Amino acid sequence: MKEKKQKQKKKKVAKYHKYSFFNIGTLLFGTVFIYMVITAFMYLTEKHVTPYEVMKGTITGNYRFQALALHTEEVVNATQSGSVRYFEREGNKASAGSVVCAINETGSQEPVRIEDFSLAEADVTRLRNMISNFTINYDGSVFQKTYDLKASVDGTISEIVADSSDAYVNVRNQCTAPDSGFVVYKIDGFENIAENQITGEMFDQTRYDANNLRSQKNVAAGRPLFKLITDEAWALYFPLDQKMLTELADTEKIRFRFMKDNETFSAPFSIVYNGEEAFGKIALDNSLVRYATDRFLEIELVMNKKSGYKIPSSAITERAVYRVPEDYVIKNEDDPQEIVLKIESFAEDGSSSTEYVTTNAYMNTDGEYLIDGRLLQPGDNIQMENSVKRIQIQEKDMEMLQGVYNINKGYATFRRITVIDENEEYCIVEGGISAYDYIVLDASEVTDDEIVY
């Protein structure tokens, strides 16, 4: 009995069915995986082209200049030698007879006790803005501005000390303003420059040198102490090239922006000629309080420019073309752009062959078609259909046509454009493209009919 039960138990043991690794699920998964790997490899190794969507727009304020500011300036000299303490804030307007500074003939200054010195919130903001403006406009090639900053900070602290005390009222040898005007503590040699003395070399920032008077601890008799701008009428000058001369020739009033504080003004404009050099002049009779301490001011001309399709300059390329009279062209009645040319070409041995070439014309103006220069070689003849007349293609007849690569259909197609306005970064164009078209951002990245990813 016992052996019989053991045999029955053995018969109930079920064998585990082993499935093959290679089945339909594994095959599908493997196929998808291999496809993804190949696709990722192709994407990573393929050249990628950046597209740009065409939109309508204008170019405004595209001309920037470092303008030279000239004022009516009066330099005030010291009447005696000694150490100087300045009290008036630079850029403030001082009335005639008001105290600007004082000279201690002993050559020493009383130290300021630290417990007597404190900075109000307005003073902190003033110093912070001074340092911030220096940082934003820093130019490593003009290190003089670093010394100017140091002198300006030292002078500002001296002004704050003076403002916090009436001590200077009792100081001997007070130096007062002989006339009312804006106080400036920089001497740069431009104080007596007349309009007819301006030259292009004066706008070279690397050669500009200003002496900050507040950096001097002692002054000798007869040396400059400070400067006054005594008239609120002033002018800005900037050099003009031939292109700007043409564009501004009839301008009598101009709109411009100070890049220092982004303030925009309109003012009378004229052109000054000094020999062969030309300079734009903007005449102002207000707002000097904002810019009295600046000899050079970066300005941007805000000009109403032509409107059209705004595209980056990098998207524009050039194509060599030939002009072919329409009498030598076989037209396609169904497609005005498609034409056929009967071209006779010559081999090196002098033998000739004639073939019909179908192409698209870039333009049809004044009875002439612009044809892709790559279709023709200098010396080829274009024959008139059903006639013995022919014209020979010569290298001197080649022209350059501007265009962009349109990629709406997934491949690069050259489209002719006409530039009607431009600056350093963008162009306003017309013809060949429409709003919302996609073009290649950098035309050097593609060639004709290249598939774009």
pLDDT tens digit string along 232-255?
999 999 999 998 898 898 899 999
Query: When comparing pLDDT for 309 and 367, which is higher?
Result: 309
What number is the average pLDDT over the span 102-118? 60
* Residue 302 pLDDT > 70: yes
| 3-class secondary structure, 37 | helix
What is the CA 74 to chain-centroid distance, rounded? 37
What number is the average pLDDT over the span 399-419? 92
In this structure, of 75-89, 157-171, 274-288, 314-328, the range with the lowest mean pLDDT score is 157-171
Q: What is the pLDDT of residue 169?
A: 44
Q: What is the pLDDT of residue 152?
A: 67
The residues near 50 (Cβ < 8 Å, ≥ 6 apart) are: 440, 441, 442, 445
Give the total residue count for the chain: 453
316 neighbors 416 (Cβ within 8 angstroms): no
* Residue 429 pLDDT > 90: yes
The CA-based angle 271-275-276, given to 5 degrees, is: 80
What is the CA 96 to chain-centroid distance, rounded? 44
* Residue 9 pLDDT > 50: yes
Query: When comparing pLDDT for 39 and 230, which is higher?
Result: 230
Per DSSP, what are the bridge partners of residue 310? 55, 428
The residues near 174 (Cβ < 8 Å, ≥ 6 apart) are: 99, 101, 102, 168
- What angle in degrees, to the nearest 10, is found between the helix axes of 144-163 and 121-136? 170
**The pair of three-digit structure tokens given for residue 209, joined into one six-digit string:** 């040198």
What number is the average pLDDT over the span 435-442? 94
The residues near 74 (Cβ < 8 Å, ≥ 6 apart) are: 178, 179, 181, 227, 228, 229, 230
Q: What DSSP string runs through 47-89?
A: PP--EEE-EEEE--S-EEEEEEEE--EEEEEPSS-EEEEE-SP
**Which among 359, 284, 283, 274 has a CA at the least distance from the CA of 321?**
359
**The pair of three-digit structure tokens given for residue 402, joined into one six-digit string:** 């501007």
CA-based end-to-end distance of the chain: 81
The residues near 304 (Cβ < 8 Å, ≥ 6 apart) are: 58, 60
Q: How far apart are CA 234 and CA 265, in angstroms?
A: 14
Q: What is the pLDDT of residues 263-284, one digit of tens each?
A: 999 999 999 999 999 999 999 9
* Residue 31 pLDDT > 70: yes
Four-residue CA torsion sign, 186, 190, 194, 199: negative
* Residue 24 pLDDT > 90: no
Domains, the chain, in order of start with CATH, read 59-71+231-305 (2.40.30.170), 78-228 (no CATH), 310-445 (no CATH)
> Which amino acid is residue 105, in one-letter code?
E
Q: Using pLDDT thresholds of 50, 70 and 90, give the confidence band for residue 431.
A: confident
Mean pLDDT for the chain? 83
* Residue 167 pLDDT > 50: no
| 3-class secondary structure, 28 | helix
Q: How far apart are CA 426 and CA 349, in angstroms?
A: 50
| 3-class secondary structure, 179 | coil
Q: What is the pLDDT of residues 204-224, one digit of tens each?
A: 988 888 888 888 878 999 999
* Residue 116 pLDDT > 60: no
**The pair of three-digit structure tokens given for residue 245, joined into one six-digit string:** 């001369």
Q: What is the pLDDT of residues 325-358, one digit of tens each?
A: 889 988 888 887 788 999 988 888 888 888 998 8
User: How many CA atoms lie within 13 Å of 7's alpha carbon, on the beta-carbon side?
Assistant: 4
Q: What is the pLDDT of residue 201?
A: 94
Q: Using pLDDT thresholds of 50, 70 and 90, give the confidence band for residue 187.
A: very high
Q: What is the pLDDT of residue 168?
A: 45
117 neighbors 161 (Cβ within 8 angstroms): yes
In this structure, of 106-110, 147-151, 349-353, 396-400, the range with the lowest mean pLDDT score is 106-110
Q: What is the pLDDT of residue 229?
A: 95
What number is the average pLDDT over the span 297-311? 85
From its phi and psi, is residue 309 left (phi > 0), alpha (psi between -120 and 50) or beta? beta
